[in-house]
């Protein structure tokens, strides 16, 4: 039994292509908590995810938006911090920062990004998150300096300050990335289809995140466990027990579903979310 | 135009200013991020333009962002392209300072949506956009000064054989000439610009209970299809699109505007119906359209473990179908021995019983897996095509396609076609049932002269050599081809498109109307050098 006690979030995982804005509006109207977009700038059929996020934030009114996950190698940390804080301010505190180390090195290089080994890209992400958090922190007026292996920031002014505490959610699968998530992240944002071992792999991944959090002196519960599902089969009503089980036994507290389907989003909000919340509340209360 | 400082303005002030009119965002490196703010403002307002500069992590990321800005905000976020950078994108050998008509060059924002077509990626050096026949003439004068460059003609941008985009060359894009008007209601005579799409034509005719058969996809443009043929869902009931053409206006290579009909320049009228792209830029078409009310429209999905047998049965059923019925077959490579066959067809009847009785025999050529049959309007069927928005078309690469006419769908053809599909070189294979009203027209009446084949075959592949090597093996079954569906550039294809006497006549007309071969982007007919015992202008 693992449950970090977070409130439950429900959202959609939308392909950043024509139709995405309408899907986000449906999710917003339906009352979902999150609408998220992958970030593969080298995929010609896709929009630039940052442009899309900015536009979607303006075209929705209450739903939170996030990259799922943004590609750090192509979105260097200092400009990203400014853009993210700006979007949070403009949207009234509705932006969260899903971020990853960037997977497809050749494609990244073709877009003008730097080619790193997987190990290097994990280190680069750790540096990037530190820079982003520093730039967001306007409690002190000192300039930001980072003399890193991958990123250098010299005497940067802080700010703007985000409208709310933007959560940093990390897309992670391998041990090094899971450790980084536990040490630095506010959330873990993987995709079920890619988790090694599927649901059976969750205890191991959670344990690694917990351990890393503890050794960084953090409460493991400070790291929310989110989960994408690229596809869910069967009618939405059949997902309820599965989600409640993942929430109560694997600590998953956000369910983000792909499939680009308006009716699915509506059913997720109207049927699945309340039923899962009810089941989980009952069990947690017991 | 209001200029706003991003370090000072609040979101509310930004929105208020942008609601009042166009704004420019000024960035001093502090406060809100310029790009994010510009896009957000575009999403919060409508109509106003937002000027901004931004930095990207690389040129490719900048391009990507610019693409998305154009699409998502409909061009309302205006990025002040540095004029020097825009000029750097110009191509060699083009007189950019002497462009006589509205045009787009690579540094222009709207160029992105016009560089490629539906199926083909391109990067021309200049897209000329004439709006009138005299501007077409001016564009052609410019093209004649640029003989060293490829020249593409573009209307609806759905060319397959027609290279309506290119690399570093010129494109004459007449998509703006897209008006549709009824000339004579009693004669059902309509006049249509080349830039209209068949979806737009269908909508305009629908209110009169009229239709003009085109192809099977409403996004295709009038200019390319009505100069080549137009084998479509109403062809067996009402003939090809070009069978309805009563007159066409075009601008010749030397800039002369001409009208061609049965009585005016009849030779040219003959050539324009089948080989039009070789003779001029069509600027208006006049069609006599048909009375068409509701039609039956069916999409069936069948599964077959024996494709050869299913193809034979399709042939047999199609052969016996009345002419009100046109049914096309589409399939791809079999998977685990199973072929998925899609049939889609139109019955020119609003009687459900007739529609069902016409379609029932087709439904038995495999195992019926899905069916959708409706009584609807031709305009609704054409309307299934997506509209092209401000983002334009973004095809990539080169389509690889072959076409052929099959006089009779024989057992041997079915066998070899099934083998072709098993080869894995064809991902899209289509049989179009011809006959019916197509055969009513005398083969000599126009340059399109294959009136009697039972089937038109089209195959698309991923690899030029792979497709050709497999498709060529079926040559014994073929007689001719429909040029619109073929991208093979080997010279023998032109001879397949036009039987010898037709090709000879076309070549001599080409010599008369386009002696320097300016128009050569689509099944190029080379001008014949006429036999003359005395020196002429050309050979002296
Ligand atoms: C999805 C799809 C479905 C199709 N279905 C059918 C079908 O059912 N039946 C059928 O018959 N065809 C069909 N076609 C083929 C289509 O008719 C041709 O590709 C046609 O050339 C497209 O016309 P366009 O104006 O859209 O294309 P464009 O790309 O604008 O032009 C293609 C070519 O046509 C010529 N051309 C264009 N405009 C002019 C002009 N104003 N004057 C002279 N020549 C001009 C040029 O050679 C040019 O390269 C289909 C094509 C596609 C992509």
CA-wise closest residue to B289 among B215, B177, B186: B186
Q: Tell me which residue has its CA closest to atom 18 in ligand 1.
A: B159
Rounded-to-integer distance, Cα A191 and Cα A199, Å: 11
Residues near B315 by beta carbon (within 8 Å), at least 6 away in sequence? B408, B409, B414, B454, B455
Tell me the pLDDT band of B112, cut-offs 50, 70 and 90. confident
Looking at B42, B66, B85, the residue that finishes a domain is: B85
Is residue B193 predicted with pLDDT exceeding 60? Answer: yes
Answer whether A158 touches B (CB < 8 Å).
no
Looking at B54, B85, B116, the residue that finishes a domain is: B85
Count CB neighbours of B184 within 10 A. Answer: 11
Tell me if B427 is assigned to some domain: yes
Answer whether A107 touches B (CB < 8 Å).
no
| pLDDT for B258 | 98
| Nearest-by-Cβ selection for B65 from A51, A85, A160 | A51
Its pTM stands at 0.66
Is residue B540 predicted with pLDDT exceeding 50? Answer: no
| pLDDT for B391 | 66
| pLDDT for B508 | 96
- 3-state SS class at B137: helix
Give pLDDT < 70 ranges for chain A. Answer: none
CA-wise closest residue to B280 among B444, B139, B114: B139
Rounded-to-integer distance, Cα B254 and Cα B137, Å: 8
| pLDDT for A172 | 97
Answer whether B12 touches A (CB < 8 Å).
no
Tell me the pLDDT band of B536, cut-offs 50, 70 and 90. very low
Residues near B102 by beta carbon (within 8 Å), at least 6 away in sequence? B128, B129, B130, B131, B135
Handedness of CA B405, B411, B414, B416 (dihedral sign): negative
Tell me if B337 is assigned to some domain: yes
Beta bridge partners of A36: A13, A66
| pLDDT for B83 | 59
| Nearest-by-Cβ selection for A52 from B33, B37, B72 | B72
Is residue B82 predicted with pLDDT exceeding 70? Answer: no
| Nearest-by-Cβ selection for B32 from A59, A86, A157 | A86
Is residue B121 predicted with pLDDT exceeding 70? Answer: yes
pLDDT digits (tens, 9 = 90+) for B448-470: 999 999 999 999 998 999 999 99
Rounded-to-integer distance, Cα B50 and Cα B48, Å: 7
Q: Is the Cβ atom of B217 under 6 angstroms away from ligand 1?
A: yes
| Nearest-by-Cβ selection for B40 from A57, A110, A111 | A57
Chain-chain contact of B43 with A55 (C-beta, under 8 angstroms): yes
| pLDDT for A155 | 87
| Nearest-by-Cβ selection for A76 from B31, B57, B73 | B57
Sequential DSSP letters for B231-271: --TTHHHH--GGGGEEEEEEE-TTS-EEEEESSSSHHHHHH
| pLDDT for B455 | 98
| pLDDT for B81 | 54
Mean pLDDT of B473-489: 98
Residue B198 Cα to ligand 1 midpoint, Å, equals 11
Cα-based angle B269, B274, B276 (whole degrees, multiple of 5): 65
Tell me the pLDDT band of B537, cut-offs 50, 70 and 90. very low
pLDDT digits (tens, 9 = 90+) for B499-533: 999 999 999 999 999 999 999 999 999 999 754 44
pLDDT digits (tens, 9 = 90+) for B270-293: 999 999 999 999 999 999 999 999
Chain-chain contact of A74 with B33 (C-beta, under 8 angstroms): no
Q: Is the Cβ atom of B378 under 6 angstroms away from ligand 1?
A: no
Chain-chain contact of A44 with B68 (C-beta, under 8 angstroms): no
Residue B430 host element (H or E):
strand B428-433
- B159 CA: distance to closest CA in chain A (Å): 20
CA-wise closest residue to B198 among B156, B236, B163, B159: B156
Mean pLDDT of B374-392: 87
Is residue B79 predicted with pLDDT exceeding 90? Answer: no
Rounded-to-integer distance, Cα B413 and Cα A99, Å: 56
Rounded-to-integer distance, Cα B59 and Cα B69, Å: 15
Name which of A152-156, B252-256, B331-335 the model is least confident about: A152-156
Answer whether B36 touches A (CB < 8 Å).
yes
| pLDDT for B1 | 66
Strand order from edge to edge, sheet including B428-433: B367-376, B295-304, B339-347, B325-331, B428-433, B455-461, B400-406
Q: Containing domain of residue B23, as a range?
A: 2-85
pLDDT digits (tens, 9 = 90+) for A78-135: 999 999 999 999 999 999 999 999 988 888 988 989 889 999 999 999 999 999 999 9
Count CB neighbours of B539 within 10 A. Answer: 9
The proportion of chain B whose per-residue pLDDT surpasses 70, expressed as a percent, equals 96
Tell me if B303 is assigned to some domain: yes
Residue A97 Cα to ligand 1 midpoint, Å, equals 46
| pLDDT for B535 | 41
Top-tier CATH class for A9-285 = alpha beta
Q: What residue in B sits closest to A112 (Cα-Cα)?
A: B58
| pLDDT for B538 | 42
Count of domains in chain B? 2
Is residue B28 predicted with pLDDT exceeding 90? Answer: no
Count CB neighbours of B451 within 10 A. Answer: 20
Tell me the pLDDT band of B404, cut-offs 50, 70 and 90. very high
Q: What residue in B sits closest to A82 (Cα-Cα)?
A: B33
Residue B433 Cα to ligand 1 midpoint, Å, equals 20
Tell me if B479 is assigned to some domain: yes
| pLDDT for A28 | 98
Chain-chain contact of A44 with B37 (C-beta, under 8 angstroms): no
DSSP at A237: G
| pLDDT for B86 | 67
CB B395 within 8 A of CB B118: yes
Tell me if B60 is assigned to some domain: yes
Name which of A216-230, B3-17, B453-467, B482-496 the model is least confident about: B3-17
Q: Is the Cβ atom of B297 under 6 angstroms away from ligand 1?
A: no
Tell me if B485 is assigned to some domain: yes
Give how far Cα B350 sits from Cα of A88, B294, B320, B374, Å: 56, 5, 20, 10
Answer whether B473 touches A (CB < 8 Å).
no
Q: Which residue of B68, B113, B394 to mutate against A (max A Cβ within 10 Å)?
A: B68
Chain-chain contact of A54 with B36 (C-beta, under 8 angstroms): yes
Mean pLDDT of B78-105: 82
Q: Is the Cβ atom of B453 under 6 angstroms away from ligand 1?
A: no
* ipTM metric: 0.97
Rounded-to-integer distance, Cα B188 and Cα B179, Å: 16
Q: Is the Cβ atom of B281 under 6 angstroms away from ligand 1?
A: yes
Report the Cα A105 to chain-centroid distance in Å. Answer: 20
Rounded-to-integer distance, Cα B347 and Cα B352, Å: 10
pLDDT digits (tens, 9 = 90+) for B36-58: 999 999 999 988 889 888 888 88
Q: Is the Cβ atom of B225 under 6 angstroms away from ligand 1?
A: yes
Residues near B163 by beta carbon (within 8 Å), at least 6 away in sequence? B120, B150, B152, B521, B522
Tell me if B283 is assigned to some domain: no
Looking at B62, B85, B108, the residue that finishes a domain is: B85
Q: What is the CATH number of the domain that holds B323?
A: 3.40.462.20
Count CB neighbours of B380 within 10 A. Answer: 16
């Amino acid at each position: 039994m693992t449950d970090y006690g977070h409130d439950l979030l429900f959202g959609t995982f939308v392909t950043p292509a024509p139709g995405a804005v309408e899907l986000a509006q449906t999710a917003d109207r339906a009352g979902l908590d999150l609408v998220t977009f992958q970030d593969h700038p080298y995929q010609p059929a896709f929009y630039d995810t940052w442009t899309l996020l900015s536009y979607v934030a303006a075209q929705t009114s209450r739903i939170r938006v996030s990259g799922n996950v943004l590609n750090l190698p192509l979105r260097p940390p200092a400009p990203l911090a400014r853009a993210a804080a700006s979007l949070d301010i403009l949207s009234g505190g509705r932006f969260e920062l899903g971020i990853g180390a960037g997977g497809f090195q050749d494609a990244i290089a073709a877009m003008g990004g730097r080619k790193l080994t997987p190990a290097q890209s994990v280190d680069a992400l750790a540096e990037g998150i530190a820079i982003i958090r520093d730039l967001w922190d306007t409690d002190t007026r000192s300039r930001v300096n980072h003399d890193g292996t991958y990123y250098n920031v010299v005497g940067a002014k802080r700010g703007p300050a985000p409208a709310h505490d933007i959560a940093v959610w990390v897309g992670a699968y391998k041990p090094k990335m899971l450790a980084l998530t536990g040490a630095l992240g506010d959330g873990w944002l993987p995709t079920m289809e890619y988790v090694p071992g599927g649901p059976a792999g969750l205890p191991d991944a959670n344990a690694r995140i917990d351990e890393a959090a503890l050794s960084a002196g953090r409460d493991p519960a400070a790291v929310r466990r989110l989960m994408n599902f690229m596809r869910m089969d069967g009618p939405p009503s059949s997902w309820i027990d599965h989600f409640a089980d993942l929430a109560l036994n694997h600590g998953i507290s956000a369910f983000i579903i792909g499939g680009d389907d308006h009716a699915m989003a509506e059913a997720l909000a109207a049927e699945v979310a309340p039923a899962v919340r009810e089941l989980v509340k009952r069990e947690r209360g017991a | 135009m209001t200029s706003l400082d991003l370090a000072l303005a609040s979101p509310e002030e930004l929105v208020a200013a942008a609601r009042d009119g166009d704004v420019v965002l000024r960035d001093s490196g502090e406060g809100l991020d310029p790009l994010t703010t510009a896009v957000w403002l575009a999403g919060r307002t409508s109509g106003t333009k937002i000027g901004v500069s931004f930095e990207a992590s690389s040129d490719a990321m900048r391009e990507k962002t610019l693409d998305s800005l154009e699409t998502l905000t409909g061009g309302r976020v205006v990025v002040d392209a540095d004029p020097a950078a825009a000029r750097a994108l110009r191509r060699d050998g083009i007189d950019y300072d002497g462009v006589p008509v509205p045009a787009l060059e690579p540094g222009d924002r709207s160029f992105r949506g016009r560089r490629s077509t539906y199926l083909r990626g391109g990067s021309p050096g200049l897209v000329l956009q004439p709006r009138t026949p005299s501007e077409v003439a001016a564009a052609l004068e410019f093209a004649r000064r640029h003989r060293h460059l490829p020249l593409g003609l573009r209307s609806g941008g759905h060319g397959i054989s027609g290279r309506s985009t290119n690399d570093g060359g010129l494109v004459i894009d007449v998509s703006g000439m897209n008006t549709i008007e009824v000339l004579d209601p009693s004669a059902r005579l309509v006049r249509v610009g080349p830039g209209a799409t068949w979806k737009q034509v269908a909508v305009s005719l629908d209110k009169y209970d009229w239709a003009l058969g085109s192809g099977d996809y409403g996004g295709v443009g009038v200019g390319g299809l009505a100069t080549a043929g137009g084998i479509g869902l109403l062809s067996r009931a009402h003939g090809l699109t070009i069978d309805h053409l009563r007159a066409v206006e075009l601008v010749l290579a030397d800039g002369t505007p001409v009208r061609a009909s049965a009585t005016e320049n009849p030779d040219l009228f003959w050539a324009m119906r089948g080989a039009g792209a070789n003779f001029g830029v069509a600027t208006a078409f006049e069609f006599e359209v048909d009375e068409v009310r509701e039609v039956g429209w069916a999409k069936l999905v069948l599964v077959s473990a024996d494709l050869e047998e299913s193809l034979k049965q399709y042939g047999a059923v199609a052969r016996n179908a009345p002419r009100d019925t046109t049914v096309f077959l589409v399939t791809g490579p079999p998977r685990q021995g199973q072929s998925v066959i899609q049939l889609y067809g139109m019955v020119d009847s609003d009687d459900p019983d007739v529609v069902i009785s016409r379609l029932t025999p087709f439904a038995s050529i495999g195992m019926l897996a899905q069916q959708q049959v409706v009584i609807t309007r031709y305009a609704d069927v054409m309307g299934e095509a997506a509209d092209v928005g401000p983002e334009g078309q973004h095809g990539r690469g080169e389509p690889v396609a072959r076409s052929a006419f099959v006089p009779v769908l024989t057992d041997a053809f079915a066998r070899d076609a099934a083998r072709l599909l098993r080869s894995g070189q064809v991902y899209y294979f289509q049989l179009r049932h011809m006959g019916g009203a197509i055969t009513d027209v005398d083969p000599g009446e126009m340059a399109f002269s294959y009136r009697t084949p039972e089937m038109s075959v089209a195959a698309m592949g991923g690899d030029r050599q792979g497709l050709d090597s497999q498709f060529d093996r079926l040559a014994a079954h073929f007689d001719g081809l429909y040029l619109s569906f073929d991208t093979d550039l080997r010279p023998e294809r032109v001879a397949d498109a036009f039987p010898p006497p037709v090709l000879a006549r076309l070549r001599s007309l080409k010599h008369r109307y386009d002696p320097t071969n300016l128009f050569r982007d689509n099944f190029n007919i080379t001008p014949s050098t006429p036999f003359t015992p005395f020196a002429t202008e050309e050979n002296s």
